[in-house]
Amino acid sequence: MSVTITRLFDGWHDAELAVRDLAAAGVDRDEFSVTSRDPDRTDQHAAEGRDADEHGIDEDGDVSRGATAGAAIGGIGGLLAGLGLMAIPGLGPVVAAGWLAAAATGAGLGAAGGAAAGGIVGALKAAGHSDDEVHVYSEGLRRGGTLVSVKAGEARAAEVRGILERNHGVDAETRGADYRERGWSGYEADSPAYDRIEVETERDINRSSGII
């Protein structure tokens, strides 16, 4: 029986290191997924012109029919280089690869498929996360974070958790408690995503609290 393990990363670099360590440990590339609203990453992909023709965002910023989650991935270098810019309902443009992003966008079903599935909320729920975990991880993306999600057999679950956490991946319980201390009551899909300045402020808060 497999379980889904997700951790939230404030910095792209830490998420990248975690993915490399997963690959080095022998985790199959089809079993992990990366979804990021890191402004440096989304801006870079947009500047490089990776738009609807390649990665499934039409001129209105919506997911177009046939959008995929990062295309064919050949090893960890290929995974990171092949990340695609796409739109997830409720979050807007993200840089992503793997099964979670595919579920969130309804890849192969067009924009309606992703919306019907509930975007990132629906994808996380379908992966087996609790309602609280879904809210925290969705909020983390809204605030400019990066999710690394792994499908792991029970025998390897502890190893996968260790890899993610030693690279500064934060679990939903820890980050949720921090959000609630600051007055947060739950993820709202219609709340605007953080801009670059807000993302940097959020990271500074997390660094000062030691939760990063």
pLDDT tens across 66-88, in order? 333 333 333 444 655 556 788 88
User: Residue 34 corresponds to which tokens in the numbers above?
Assistant: 């990366």
Q: Which residues of 77-106 are buried (b: 16+ CB within 10 A; e: fewer)?
A: eebbeebbbbbbbbbbbbbbbbbbbbbbbb
**What count of other Cβ atoms lies within 10 Å of the Cβ of residue 181?**
9
- Lowest mean pLDDT segment, chosen from 10-14, 72-76, 89-93, 188-192: 72-76
Give the model's pLDDT for residue 53: 36
Query: Does the structure show a pLDDT above 50 at 160?
Result: yes
Give the per-residue pLDDT at 202. Answer: 94
Q: What is the pTM of this model?
A: 0.81
More confident residue, 56 or 72: 56
Domain that holds residue 44: 2-209
